[in-house]
């Protein structure tokens, strides 16, 4: 069965790097995603990675995928106060189109 797990909280200082981690259990994951949710807002797609890739970089964001350990991470370089939000890891399985979400990680950026 599928299960996506994330730690609930992360605090970093402004300007430092943030690393948000996610583990999943189903080896048939095809795409893995990171979404950002600010208070009172919807889910914003940040980036996604196909399961045959190891890394994807997009400006301040770096996604690393370790398929052997079923571990996904999102690194945010030079974290800013505007990055404070809940970050959700999500996956799609096989040819299925629906997302399975983790519980979300609340990122707090301290001045």
Partner 1 sequence: DAGVIQSPRHEVTEMGQEVTLRCKPISGHNSLFWYRQTMMRGLELLIYFNNNVPIDDSGMPEDRFSAKMPNASFSTLKIQPSEPRDSAVYFCASSPDGVSGNTIYFGEGSWLTVV
84's tokens: 């404070």
| Residue 24 is a binding residue for partner 1 (CB under 8 A) | no
Nearer to partner 1, 19 or 96 (CB): 96
The residue count for binding partner 1 (CB under 8 A) is 21
Measured CA to CA, the distance from residue 4 to residue 91 in angstroms comes to: 8
Q: What are residue 59's phi and psi, to 5 degrees?
A: 55, -115
Contact region with partner 1 (CB under 8 A), list: 10-18, 33-41, 59-67, 70-78: 33-41
Measured CA to CA, the distance from residue 47 to residue 31 in angstroms comes to: 10
Task: Work out which of 45, 58, 66, 110 binds partner 1, going by CB under 8 A.
Answer: 45
Task: Work out which of 19, 28, 50, 57 binds partner 1, going by CB under 8 A.
Answer: 50
Strands of the chain, DSSP E: 4-6, 9-13, 18-24, 29-37, 43-50, 55-58, 61-66, 71-76, 85-93, 100-101, 105-110
Smallest separation, CB 16 to partner 1 (Å): 27
The owner of tokens 């009172």 is 40
| Residue 21 is a binding residue for partner 1 (CB under 8 A) | no
- Residues near partner 1 (CB under 8 A) are 30-31, 33, 35, 41-45, 48, 50, 88, 92, 97-104
């Amino acid at each position: 069965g599928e299960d996506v797990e994330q730690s609930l909280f992360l605090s970093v200082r402004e300007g430092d790097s943030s690393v948000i981690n996610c583990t999943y259990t189903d080896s048939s994951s095809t795409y893995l995603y990171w979404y950002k949710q600010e208070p009172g807002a919807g889910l914003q797609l940040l980036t996604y990675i196909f399961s045959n890739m190891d890394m994807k970089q997009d400006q301040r964001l770096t996604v690393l995928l370790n398929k052997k350990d079923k571990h996904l991470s999102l690194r945010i370089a030079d974290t800013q106060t505007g990055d404070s939000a809940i970050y959700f890891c999500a996956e799609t399985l096989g040819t299925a189109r629906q997302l399975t979400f983790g519980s979300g990680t609340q990122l707090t950026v301290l001045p």
